[in-house]
Structure 1
Amino acid sequence: MESTTVGKVITCKAAVAWGPGEPLVMEKILVDPPQKMEVRIKVLFTSVCHSDLSAWKGENESQRAYPRIFGHEASGIVESVGEGVTGLKEGDHVIPIFNGECGECEYCKCERTNMCRDYGVNPMKKVMIADGKCRFWTKEKREPIFHFLNTSTFSEFTVIESACVVKVDPDFPLNKMTMLSCGVTTGVGAAWKTADVKARSTVAIFGLGSVGLAVAAGAHARGASKIIGVDINPAKFVKAQALGVTDCINPKELETASHEEIKRLTGGGGVDYSFECTGNLAVLREAFLSTHLGWGLTVLLGVHPGPKTLPLHPMELFNGQRITGSVFGGFKGRTQIAGLAEECMRGVVNLDEFISHELPFEKINEAFQLLQGGESLRCLMHL
């Protein structure tokens, strides 16, 4: 990294969202130097996640803020650090994380959660904590461009609070590390940490996108005996089976409800664990009903933007079945993701399986369309 940029405003390219559902516009923008407890990163790779897609569509009106730079799955190199930053320096290989870890608050010090009081996931946040201002500006009028999910990676350079930056081994390929910024970590962690899937157990996964397939990879690594994948797109089944899914169900081809077919496949009892990865309440209901009475656990991973509540009667929880949510797979980002990266590099989870397409950054709108059309898992973009 050239030290001539340290402390200076950088001019670079970014994909700017000007309104809900509008094509992203490749713009020349200004990126300020990092302030106290912030890091400026040169982004080398980024990809599109369903959270970017739903935010881009403007599905939740309260989250709308424009112009804005989306993106939260990426990898890159530290260009410079702000005052007070420790453990990170110029030239470090890093990945941004949307769910930060300051290491100092009561949440970070509690082993029972991966939440952080100040730097946890917050879709409403659009400016930096240090001074309540943006670090991105339009080049012509120097008007602010808002941030997204603590990261804003659809830019050649981004400024991120240090609590949301994870240092990784420089020997690990950064293109693969990009997968750990969100989707793979969320799914694998849901299986390993949130559910703590046991060997010889049974699993059902509703929705076979990147997160669902990462759940499958995590459950397979734990030795689950049966992993049932549920999706209305049968084109996903080949990849699912490559990642450990043993049985595939297309609800459109069933004469009965999905949960009834899952119970048939498990001898009548249902699965030990189910994972809902779609953000659909009817699917969440099926996931819950597919679990075994007495001990079944449903893990909610899909993003539900609407105001509707859980499709459960309170008395159903008296049967011993449980339901819980999982954010970032239960991983504490700064202290635990480096270990996950090492396991992936040893082959416990094959990150290559999640990169279905590669495109130059300038074709980001094409990457959005691939994901929206169900044609891609992760489209890796090179900046």
Structure 2
Amino acid sequence: MDKASISSTEGKPIRCKAAILRKAGEPLVIEEIQVDPPQAYEVRIKILCTSLCHTDVTFWKLESGPLARFPRILGHEAVGVVESIGENVDGIKQGDVVLPVFHPQCEECKECKSPKSNWCTRCTNDFLSNTRRYGMTSRFKDSFGEDIHHFIFVSSFTEYTVVDIAHLVKISPEIPVDVAALLSCGVATGIGAAWKVADVEEGSTVAIFGLGAVGLAALPVSLGSYDLLRGRTICGTLFGGLKPKLDIPILVDRYLKKELNLDGLITHELSFEEINKAFDLLAEGNSIRCVVWMDK
């Protein structure tokens, strides 16, 4: 974004396009919405490109229960540019390239300061409630003035979104933005699980199980006493054990040094207007990651 466009929108509502889920399982509808200015501890960003993972598909199909909310703006894998900032925002300025990440790191609570955990007590306890630390629960309104629900603190299927700074990671502008978007959820989770949690070594034999944010309770886990005596353990992880603000920049650096190959994971690229095709590709198992460009 150029400085003129930033200064003309700072502190004001922005009207833009968003892909809205009105009913479970139905195609998203691209509509004009209003995005409010950021409040304290928040940043409004212009989404450059976004992707989607199976968690988006799961919530797209979710018809009932406390987690099924309509209308809603899905999406949580993306990269953007800071358009404006609210009060009490440090370390991030207008024009910075940032990743909005569903998993928070407040950097202040006991767990965030501990090297043993990536759980953020201050923010993660309300992970699926989308409760914001300041003010209104929504920063989106549709053309009728009705609130639109956010999705796991990101909502990237829109030209602009508002994100709490606990869910933002500043990254190097040198990395291609489509590759950077992959690091905001699925790819980073897989890398982190092997690197941070399992500590996989060369020559190791591993089994990989994928679980969405809703399916966790459906998997029974048991371990016999003899297994415990043999030293076997079960260890769960969220976001691959990564602390977003600390570890994602490391992954970016490794990519730039050609130590981490991510390019082959992008199998499709589409325009924003084709976003429903991205859902079909993923749901049918025909894509690994489909990048949706907001300006194409």
TM-score range, shorter chain: over 0.9
Q: Say yes or no: does 1:193 pair with 2:104.
A: no
**Aligned residue type for 2:149:** F
* Deviation string, structure 1 residues 185-241 (Cα, Å, up to 9, x no partner): 101111110111123x3223xxxxxxxxxxxxxxxxxxxxxxxxxxxxxxxxxxxxx
Residue 346 of structure 1: CA displacement?
A: 1.4
Secondary structure (helix, strand or coil) at the match of 2:84 reads strand
Instruction: Tell me the residue number matched to 2:236.
Output: 325
Question: What is the RMSD of the two structures over their aligned residues, measured on CA atoms?
Answer: 1.7
Which residue identity lines up with residue 178 of structure 2 in the other structure?
N
Secondary structure class of the residue paired with 2:253: helix
- TM-superposition CA deviations, 1:41-68 (whole Å, max 9, x none): 0000000111111011107722111111
Structure 1 moving runs of 4+ over 3 Å? 306-309, 313-317
Match of 1:335 among 246, 253, 258: 246
Q: Deviations over 1:264-288 (max 9, x none)?
A: xxxxxxxxxx3322x3xxxxxxxxx
Structure 2 residue matching 1:323: 3-state secondary structure: coil
Query: Is the contact between residue 125 and residue 150 of structure 1 (CA under 8 Å) also seen in structure 2?
Result: no
TM-score (norm 2): 0.92
Find 1:69's aligned residue among 66, 73, 77. Answer: 73
- Alignment correspondent of 2:46: 42
User: Which of 93, 98, 110 in structure 2 is aligned with 1:94?
Assistant: 98
CA distance in 2, matches of 1:194, 1:311: 18
Q: CA deviation at 1:127?
A: 4.5
Where structure 1 has 5 or more consecutive residues not aligned to the other structure, the ranges are: 205-273, 280-301
Question: Are 1:358 and 2:247 an aligned pair?
Answer: no
**Does structure 2 conserve the Cα–Cα contact (< 8 Å) formed by 1:96 and 1:181?**
yes
2:129 matches 1:125: yes
Judge conservation of contact 2:251–2:260 (CA < 8 Å) in 1.
no
State how far apart, in whole Å, the 1-side matches of 2:103 and 2:55 are: 13
Shift of 1:174: 1.1
How far apart are 1:21 and its partner, in Å? 1.0
State the match for 2:153 in structure 1. 150
Larger-gyration structure (1/2)? 1
For residues 256 and 76 of structure 2, the distance between their equivalents in structure 1, rounded to whole angstroms, comes to 22
Shift of residue 315 of structure 1?
A: 3.2
**Residue 374 (structure 1) shift:** 0.2
2:108 aligns to what? 104
Give TM-score, length-normalised by structure 1: 0.72
Match of 2:225 in 1: 315
Task: Quote the residue 2:181 is aligned against.
Answer: 178
Deviation at 1:345, TM superposition (A): 1.6
Deviation at 1:339, TM superposition (A): 1.4
Q: Which has the higher contact order (CA 8 A, sep 6+)?
A: 2
Query: Partner letter of residue 203 of structure 1?
Result: T
Aligned to 2:293: 382
Contact 2:254 2:260 in 1 (8 A): yes
Offset, 1:34: 0.2
Query: What secondary structure, in the 3-state scheme, does the structure 1 residue paired with 2:105 have?
Result: coil
For 1:93, the aligned partner's letter is V
Give distance in 2, aligned partners of 1:184 and 1:158: 22
Give yes or no for contact 1:93–1:170 (8 Å, CA) kept in 2.
yes
Distance in 1 (alpha carbons) for counterparts of 2:258 and 2:126: 32
Distance 1:27 1:68 in 2: 12
Question: In 1, Cα distance between the equivalents of 2:226 and 2:214?
Answer: 21
SS across alignment from 1:77: strand
The percentage of counterpart residues that share the same residue type is 43
Instruction: Note closer, same or farther for the CA distance 1:19–1:121 as it changes in structure 2 (3 Å cut).
Output: farther
Single out whichever of 335-344 and 81-90 deviates more from structure 2: 335-344
AA partner of residue 369 (structure 1)? D
Contact 2:45 2:162 in 1 (8 A): yes
Runs of 5+ in structure 2 lacking a partner?
Answer: none
SS of the aligned residue for 2:112 comes to: coil
3-state SS of paired residue (2:189): helix
2:209 aligned to which of 276, 282, 290: 276
Q: Partner of 1:63: helix, strand, or coil?
A: coil
Matched-pair contact (CA < 8 Å) for 1:63–1:123: no
Count of aligned residue pairs for this structure pair: 289
Q: Is the 8 A contact 1:98 1:121 kept in 2?
A: no
CA distance, structure 2, for counterparts of residue 176 and residue 122 of structure 1: 29
Q: CA deviation at 1:320?
A: 2.7
**Mapped partners of 1:150, 1:316: distance in 2:** 42
